[in-house]
Amino acid sequence: MPTPTIAQKSPYVQKMAAGTYWWCSCGQSKGQPFCDGSHKGTGFAPQKVVLTEEKTVAWCGCKHSANGCNCDGTHKQL
């Protein structure tokens, strides 16, 4: 299993509109926290997230969360 690149050691806390989002799991996107296609060839794939209503999301920026796209505090141990 390849190791993801740490985009930043804190979450991206954003108020999101309802919709479909693709969270960057490889850490190499220039459009964090979302996929820009940079994962090609890395073995990573983005995570699809569907929000049915407006919501504030703490997107994982370190890419090491055990909870996928959601920050679980793991960044504090990196």
The least CB distance from residue 65 to ligand FES, in Å, is: 4
Q: Does 16 bind ligand FES (CB under 6 A)?
A: no
Residue identified by tokens 């919501």 is 55
Residues that bind ligand FES (rule: CB under 6 A) add up to a total of: 12
The least CB distance from residue 43 to ligand FES, in Å, is: 19
Q: Site map for ligand FES, 54-73, x if CB under 6 A?
A: ------xxx-xx-----xxx
What are 1's two structure tokens? 């299993």
Give the burial string for 23-36 (b: 16+ CB within 10 Å, else e): bbbbbbbeebbbbe
19: left (phi over 0), alpha (psi -120 to 50) or beta: left
For ligand FES, the binding residues (CB under 6 A) are 10-11, 60-62, 64-65, 71-75
